[in-house]
Amino acid sequence: MIKILFPFLLASLLLPLGTQAQSNAANAYPNKPVSIVVTYAPGGLGDVLARRLAEKLSQKTKQSFVVENKPGATGALGSRYVAKSKPDGYTLLLGQTGEMVINPLVSKDLGYDPSKDFKGVALIGEVPLILVAPGNSSYKSLPEFIKLAKSKPGSMTYASSGSATPGHLAAAELCQAAGISMVHAPYKGAGQAMTDLLGGHVDIFFSSAPAVLPHIDSKNLRALAVSSEKRMAVLPEVHTVAEDGIKDFNFTLWGGIFTPTGTPESVVNYLNQEINDVLRDPSFIGQLEKDGILIRPNSVAEFNDFMKREKVKYTKLLKTIEIKSE
């Protein structure tokens, strides 16, 4: 009987040791630099969120969190890179509305599947789009711009960070709802679009707030409208698109942290806890609120539920807007 019981006794004695070893491994994370991949060039919402989050996480964890910009293929290049990375928590994705929700709805050859290849960790922030024009443009409001565009069908241009990005969809819906015809000028990122807008080479651009607020303050750009249901606190005098006659117009950009599928739950939960501590940090909140970014702590489950709702919204929208391959 003793011989029979001995293996079971030994296993029961070793079980706590194994559990302790797993706990120690989790507690050791992170023990080397962590990369946060941004799938667009510097200058947009994702880049701002990633860099400010990386700074705070580096301070909190005493380990380096480093931002890597990997632009290309409307966010697919960087997303594929992270999807194929080792699922150990050392390569994270700052995923945004486009590459995590919209792109999979309009393309079957992305090289990644957000629902299968990634695990949502936490939503970092969301912000309305601001419709901006060159500061020296003749149109000073959205109704004035629509009137001008109607008088010159097919001759005015709108920029975007790429085909089927939120900025593209917002402008496409605006054109459809207002009955105007414009030329789409897709770029590889907000930075390049901004350069041409400032240079007067394109007429309007639906951009994230962080990229354009400094230019609005300096009068180099003019805010024509915001894409949210309510006006932005940082631009209280600027109308919403809905206020200017486009009923039910509502778009926001958002960015969140994702890990490759297979990343240990202990690491995912650790990251969520650390990120939520940052999201409650008054200095972090103050930084992002200046850029018009809404911050709210959220659990892993809450973030993934948010993602599901976004997919439903854009699925419905894309049924009414024709997206051409560009």
State whether 121 and 181 are in the same domain. Answer: no
Run of H or E residues at 143: helix 142-151
The amino acid that residue 152 corresponds to is K
CA distance 190 to 205: 9
The confidence score (pLDDT) of residue 8 equals 44
Number of structural domains, the chain? 2
Clarify whether residues 98 and 111 are in a common domain.
yes
Q: What's the CATH code of the domain at 257? A: 3.40.190.150
Same domain, 136 and 219: yes
For the chain, residues with pLDDT lower than 70 are 1-27, 322-326
pLDDT of residue 14: 52
In a domain, 274, yes or no: yes
Domain end position, chosen among 184, 208, 226: 226
Condensed to tens digits (0 to 9), the pLDDT of residues 224-272 reads 999 988 899 899 999 999 999 999 898 888 999 999 999 999 999 999 9
- Which pLDDT does position 7 carry in this prediction? 47
Residue 234 lies in a domain: no
pLDDT at 205: 97
β-strand pairing of 118-134 with 204-208: antiparallel
Tell me if 291 is assigned to some domain.
Answer: yes
Domain membership of residue 148 (yes or no) is: yes
Q: Rounded to an integer, what distance in angstroms lies between the CA atom of residue 239 and that of residue 223?
A: 9
Neighbours of 99 (CB within 10 A): 29
Same domain, 37 and 122: yes
Angle at 190 between CA 189 and CA 195, to 5 degrees: 110
158 and 187 housed in the same domain: yes
Q: How far apart are CA 286 and CA 265, in angstroms?
A: 31
Domain that holds residue 140: 128-226
Q: Judge if 158 and 110 occupy the same domain.
A: no
Q: How far apart are CA 204 and CA 207, in angstroms?
A: 9
For residues 154 and 209, membership in a common domain is answered with yes
Cis peptide before 210 (omega within 30 of 0): no
Please check whether residue 26 lies inside any domain of the structure: no
Burial of 85 (0-12, 13-18, 19+ CB in 10 A): middle
Task: Give me the residues paired with residue 67 across strands.
Answer: 36
CA angle 161, 158, 171 (to 5 degrees): 80
Structure tokens belonging to residue 198: 């400032």
Tell me if 243 is assigned to some domain. no
Q: Where is the domain boundary, 157, 191, 226?
A: 226
- What pLDDT, on a 0 to 100 scale, did the predictor assign at position 269? 98
- Asked if residue 117 and residue 57 are part of one domain, the reply reads yes
25 part of a folded domain: no
Measure the CA dihedral 218/219/224/229, to 10°.
20
- Cα distance between residue 133 and residue 123, in whole Å: 30
Same domain flag for 146 and 119: no
Residue 326 lies in a domain: no
Residues 43, 192 within the same domain = no
Q: Judge if 113 and 89 occupy the same domain.
A: yes
Whole-model pTM: value is 0.75
Residue 117 shares a structural domain with residue 136 = no
The enclosing domain of 205 has a CATH number of 3.40.190.10
The b-or-e profile of 277-290 (16+ CB within 10 A means b, else e) is ebbeeeebbebbee
